């Protein structure tokens, strides 16, 4: 039996990447996160994992080598809602700190995530910088709606492999139209699911009401083990009503988090590619 792949998590937040990669079959060895509230969440769910606070002071001599490094680097300077400083911005510019960590630890693969605006606000530089340090990259915009969520949440995932690994063209078993990944559900969701940019909340394509007034919808499909997948229309934050401690922290943590189901999908593809 082969040993599971290991990973380290940069900009870990509340652990969306970490949960997804663990579901895919990887083992988390360390996390880096500066936010106080997010660190408490990580400590609760990953008590045995080593953690560091500031990526600018990471790694040190005790840092374990890992197969994969993942991270959703800050998007504030890349998002269209921001001022457009891009990778020159103070926060989104931490991408270069992530690259420095990659140079030092030399994982077999790197997985980075950011908002869809990265496609026009710095993706070329991200790919070029990774190439300069010896990593060949591929990328795709994967919406949360593709894994059953009743909202779009477009996010770009950049997967980079150490030179000589991965990025090999294979004819897909399922034919897909240009620009579509064969393993993602590409039903026409944009007119049918919630889009935070539109200010509307709608039921999703392929979703059906469970007949109750709970505000939940079930995805019209099943997981591998036969259980029905179910998503809440909105995050379950009923216990964080106005005036309750950590309400804003919880909402911010959810808003910044990588969707675990998408991370799991990407993680499984990385495991498959590295196994080749």
For residues 96 and 133, the answer to whether their CB atoms sit within 8 Å is no
**Paired tokens of 115:** 């908002």
- Count Cβ atoms within 10 A of the Cβ of residue 149 and give its class: 0-12 exposed, 13-18 middle, 19 or more buried: buried
Cβ atoms of 240 and 246 closer than 8 Å: yes
Decide if 141 is catalytic: no
Of the residues 28, 75, 141, 167, which is catalytic? Answer: 75
C-alpha to C-alpha distance for 211 and 5, rounded to whole angstroms: 42
Closest CA to 17 of 155, 111, 154: 111
Residues noted as catalytic: 75
């Amino acid at each position: 039996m082969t040993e599971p792949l290991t990973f380290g998590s940069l900009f870990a937040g509340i652990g969306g990447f970490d949960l997804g990669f663990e579901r895919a079959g990887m083992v988390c060895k360390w996390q880096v996160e500066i936010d106080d509230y997010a660190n408490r969440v990580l400590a609760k769910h990953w008590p045995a994992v080593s953690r560091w606070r500031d990526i600018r002071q990471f790694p040190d001599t005790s840092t374990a080598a890992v197969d994969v490094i993942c991270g959703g680097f800050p998007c504030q300077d890349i998002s269209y809602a921001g001022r457009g400083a891009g990778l020159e911005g103070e926060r989104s510019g931490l991408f270069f700190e992530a690259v420095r960590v990659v140079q030092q630890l030399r994982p077999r693969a790197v997985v980075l995530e950011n908002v869809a605006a990265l496609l026009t606000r710095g993706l070329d530089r991200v790919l070029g910088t990774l190439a300069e340090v010896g990593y060949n990259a591929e990328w795709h915009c994967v919406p949360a709606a593709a894994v059953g969520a009743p909202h779009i949440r477009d996010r770009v995932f950049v997967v980079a492999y150490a030179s000589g690994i991965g990025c090999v063209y294979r004819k897909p078993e399922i034919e897909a139209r240009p620009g579509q990944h064969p393993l993602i559900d590409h039903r026409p969701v944009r007119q049918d699911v919630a889009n935070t940019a539109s200010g509307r909340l709608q039921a999703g394509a392929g979703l059906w009401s469970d007949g109750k007034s709970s505000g939940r919808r079930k995805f019209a499909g099943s997981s591998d083990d036969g259980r029905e997948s179910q998503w809440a229309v909105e995050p379950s934050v009923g216990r964080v009503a106005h005036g309750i401690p950590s309400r804003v922290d919880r909402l911010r943590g959810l808003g910044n988090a990588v969707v675990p189901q998408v991370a799991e999908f990407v993680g499984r593809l990385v495991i498959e590619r590295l196994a080749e």
